[in-house]
A and B are shown apart, each in its own frame.
Chain A
Amino acid sequence: MNTISGLFSGKREGRVFLSPAVLLLLALTIFPFFFSLWLTFGKVSFVGGLSIHWVGFRNWARLFSDERFWNASSNTLFLVAIAVGLEYVIGLGLAILLSQSKIRGRGFFRVLFLTPMMLAPIAVGYMGRMMFNQTRGPVDHILTHLGLPAVAWLSNTDTAIYSIILMDVWQWTPFMFLILLAGLETIPPDFLEAGRVDGASRWQLFRHVIFPLLAPASLAAILIRVLEAFKIIDTIYIMTGGGPGISTETLTLFGYSIGLTAFDLAYGSTIAFSLFIMVLVMSIVLLLMTRRFQEVTFE
């Protein structure tokens, strides 16, 4: 970063440049955030004009005794854990393969591999809907041709969530790949050479050189993906609509359907806030892990 010289100390001018962005965020993110927090203690009524009454902790009490909330929470956590885990493993594998010095067509593979994450999730969801269709979709068609049993992907309460996970992996593995490839490119070749001279096996090189050096990039990529995956709605909205039943309903989808479909904005906000708390806790845990890790490695 540049040094800030005396000529640049005009405080008022700095504020003039900073404030539009800050004001926009205050008005359209921070204010709605607190308004939403207030709503979780209220009841919104549209009868005879809009009014909001204070009801204390009634929404929160309802939330904790609502089985649909626990179902949505566990679906969300399950989806985040499995999808992000798979994305990390596949992304790391692809990044290692593509970081080898003598790969032909590297640029081509790189561009191609990154494409899915740029696409509208709603279109990706629709692709998933076609892919996993039992009678007209290619996945089961190919499975049966390979002599494998067909799966009732989207119409079965046990498998529907896996169809969504697979589409999420398809779309977001590129993100892991992108960050991990950039991380791999910063590893000095000498480190590997030194290990090799010492007679380390490939697995040892990976385990004791590459993986630890990649840890900061790994944790950053996982943190961002976890936070993003917690918010998932678009793919599910179109692939299963949360169904069959509520077997694939996530917190965002639940909050949406209570807030706007059932038009209970206060309870919808309560659900949304519970998601916010989970995301907050999760990011604090992951950030602490990152810090702990840095202390251990760089002491």
Chain B
Amino acid sequence: MKFLGRERPLQIATYALLISWAILVVFPIYFTVTTSFKEKLDVFHGPKYVPWVDFKPVLKWWIRLFTVERTEVIPPFINSLVIASVSSLVAMLLGTMAAYSLTRFQFKLGRFGNQDILVWIVSQRMMPPIVTVLALFLLFKIVSQKYLLDSWLGMILVYSSFNVPIAVWVMRNFLSQIPVSIEEAAMVDGASRRQIFFRIVIPMTLPSLTATFLLCFIFAWNEFLFSLILTFDNARTVPILIASQHFQRGPQWWDISALSTLAIAPVIIIALSLQRNLVKGLIPIGK
């Protein structure tokens, strides 16, 4: 698009604004990462910014994280990894199946058709989690406190259901672009629906499936409220670890900065490597 023109002052202003926002974006992340390498005094004596210039970086908090504090820090990371991975797989599979069904079959439920079913599914994501989570807490307590509360199973179920709408939305956009002719040909050759889905559709949509999985993974990895209410100890996830560490030792910025760095690192890596795919999947406009 050509809108602003090529005049030199305008060009300079454009870059100045873009670079200023870039600095605003990077600064809090930079400050958090560097704080995890600061000595206590460098934290307490006002903000220090540049390693080797106004403070001497140390590795000891990171070492401590993986040694002395290991038993406290590692389990939530394992919980988060397991819960986010498994729930994203479930959401991706169920979401893809539903999206496949909505793009290949014609449903009629009274006066409601495919579009209404899609809207119903996607709108679930709009519901404020606090509405369901207090009831879920009680329901889990009633049904099976042992297996559902503060457990991988309970969290995987909850996160799957909370990611299914996203998976349906993204996969429907991809699946509606794949021509049905290949599937029809396979069907003429006598392939069953299940064979078509697992042998043809899944392999063809592998890149979009990866994008969907990673998107669900990021949502699950970052989620806070469900985990806050439905886990207490054994199944605590990373955001809960950060929150509780913050309340236990708020002023010890170095520890919590290291934890925060660990919590955001995987997401930044995923985002950088797959940004284009993730973005394309989310918004069908602009294609």
Interface residues of A (CB under 8 A from B): 1-5, 7-11, 13-18, 20-22, 24-25, 27-33, 35-36, 39, 44, 50, 90, 93-94, 96-103, 109-116, 118-124, 126-131, 135-138, 141, 170, 178-179, 181-187, 189, 192-193, 202, 205-206, 210, 217, 227, 230-231, 233-234, 237-238, 251-252, 255-256, 259-260, 265, 268-269, 271-273, 275-276, 279, 283
Contact = CB atoms under 8 A, between A and B. Distances in A.
Nearest to B6: A102
A210 B4 CA distance: 12
Nearest to A108: B22
A28 B26 contact: no
Contact of A268 (B94, B134, B253): B134
Contacts of A137: 47
29 contacts: A17-B100, A18-B101, A20-B97, A21-B95, A22-B121, A28-B158, A32-B139, A39-B135, A94-B17, A94-B18, A101-B2, A111-B275, A114-B279, A119-B264, A119-B267, A120-B224, A121-B224, A123-B264, A136-B43, A138-B47, A186-B285, A227-B126, A234-B224, A237-B224, A237-B243, A255-B134, A256-B225, A265-B138, A269-B134
B144 interface: no
Contacts of B128: 230-231, 252, 272, 275-276, 279
Nearest to B95: A21
In terms of DSSP, what is the predominant structure of the interface of chain B? helix
A138 to B, nearest CB: 4
B97 A21 contact: yes
B31 interface: yes
Nearest to B260: A123
Given A33-B127, A192-B3, A255-B134, A113 B35 contact: no
A275 B124 CA distance: 15
Contacts of B180: 2-5, 8
Given A98-B18, A136-B47, 6 more contacts: A5-B184, A17-B101, A18-B102, A130-B31, A205-B3, A276-B128
Given A1-B176, A121-B222, A238-B246, A130 B32 contact: yes
Contact of B22 (A16, A112, A131): A112
Contacts of A25: 121, 124, 161, 164-165
Interface string B243-271: 10010000001001100100110011011
B263 A123 contact: yes
B221 interface: yes
B132 A29 contact: yes
B3 A4 contact: no
Contact of A234 (B102, B225, B271): B225
Contacts of B238: 120
A279 B125 CA distance: 12
Contacts of A227: 126
Given A184-B1, A269-B135, A120 B221 contact: yes
B286 interface: yes
B1 A131 contact: no
B86 interface: no
Given A29-B132, A276-B131, A283 B25 contact: no
B28 A97 contact: no
A192 to B, nearest CB: 6
A272 B130 contact: yes
Contacts of A30: 124
B263 A120 contact: yes
B22 A113 contact: yes
Contacts of A109: 18, 22
A136 B270 CA distance: 32
Interface string B19-44: 00110111111011001000000011
